[in-house]
C-alpha cells in the first residue's frame, strides 16, 4: 500500500494540474503540460544513472526549469517566477548528488519532494492569480479581443 505522503503528493498533483488546465490561462496550460511531461518522463527514465547521478532526470529537470523561466519572463505571473525558483532548487539537488556522499541521498530526495509540493501549491495560487489579478485579466481580455477581431474579419 502506498504511503500517505505519496497519496497526498499524487492527489495534490492531480488537483493542481487539473485546475491549471481547467481554470488557468494560456501560460498556466503551458506550465501544466510541462509539469505533466516532467512527471511522466522522469518516471520512465529514472533507471538511467551514472554512479549516483540520474542524468536523464536531471536533463528533464533542466528542461522544466527552462520552460518555467521562459514563461515567467514572457507572461506577468508571479507564481511562474516562484515556481522557477523552486525548480532551480530541485535541479541543484542533482548537482549535489554528484559531490555528496551516499548519506545525503534521503536529504536530496526529500528536498526534491518538498520542491515539487511547493510547485504544486504555487500552481494552485497561479489559478487564482490568472482569474483574480488585474494584470492577468487584462492579458486575457486582449487575447479574447484579438480572437474576436480575427473572427469578424473572416
DSSP 50: B
Number of domains into which the chain is organized? 1
- Tell me, what's the pLDDT at 52? 78
pLDDT digits (tens, 9 = 90+) for 20-73: 999 999 999 999 999 999 999 999 999 998 887 899 999 999 999 999 999 999
Report the distance separating Cα 25 and Cα 28, nearest Å.
5
pLDDT digits (tens, 9 = 90+) for 69-103: 999 999 999 999 999 999 999 999 988 888 766 66
* Owning domain of residue 109: 4-153
Whether 154 has a pLDDT exceeding 70, the answer reads no
pTM of the full predicted structure? 0.86
What are 120's three cell numbers?
A: 504544486
- Tell me, what's the pLDDT at 138? 65
* Distance from the Cα of residue 96 to its chain's centroid: 21
Taking residues 15-24, what's their average pLDDT?
A: 97
Amino acid at each position: 500500500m502506498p504511503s500517505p505522503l505519496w497519496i497526498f503528493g499524487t492527489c495534490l498533483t492531480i488537483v493542481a494540474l487539473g485546475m491549471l488546465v481547467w481554470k488557468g490561462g494560456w501560460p498556466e496550460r503551458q506550465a501544466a503540460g510541462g509539469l505533466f511531461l516532467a512527471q511522466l518522463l522522469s518516471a520512465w527514465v529514472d533507471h538511467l544513472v551514472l554512479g549516483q547521478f540520474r542524468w536523464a532526470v536531471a536533463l528533464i529537470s533542466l528542461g522544466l526549469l527552462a520552460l518555467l523561466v521562459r514563461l515567467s519572463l514572457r507572461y506577468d505571473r508571479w507564481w511562474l517566477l516562484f515556481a522557477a525558483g523552486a525548480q532551480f532548487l530541485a535541479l541543484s539537488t542533482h548537482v549535489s548528488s554528484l559531490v555528496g556522499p551516499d548519506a545525503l541521498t534521503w536529504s536530496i530526495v526529500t528536498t526534491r519532494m518538498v520542491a515539487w509540493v511547493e510547485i504544486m501549491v504555487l500552481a494552485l495560487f497561479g489559478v487564482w492569480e490568472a482569474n483574480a489579478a488585474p494584470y492577468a485579466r487584462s492579458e486575457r481580455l486582449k487575447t479574447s479581443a484579438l480572437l474576436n477581431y480575427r473572427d469578424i474579419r473572416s
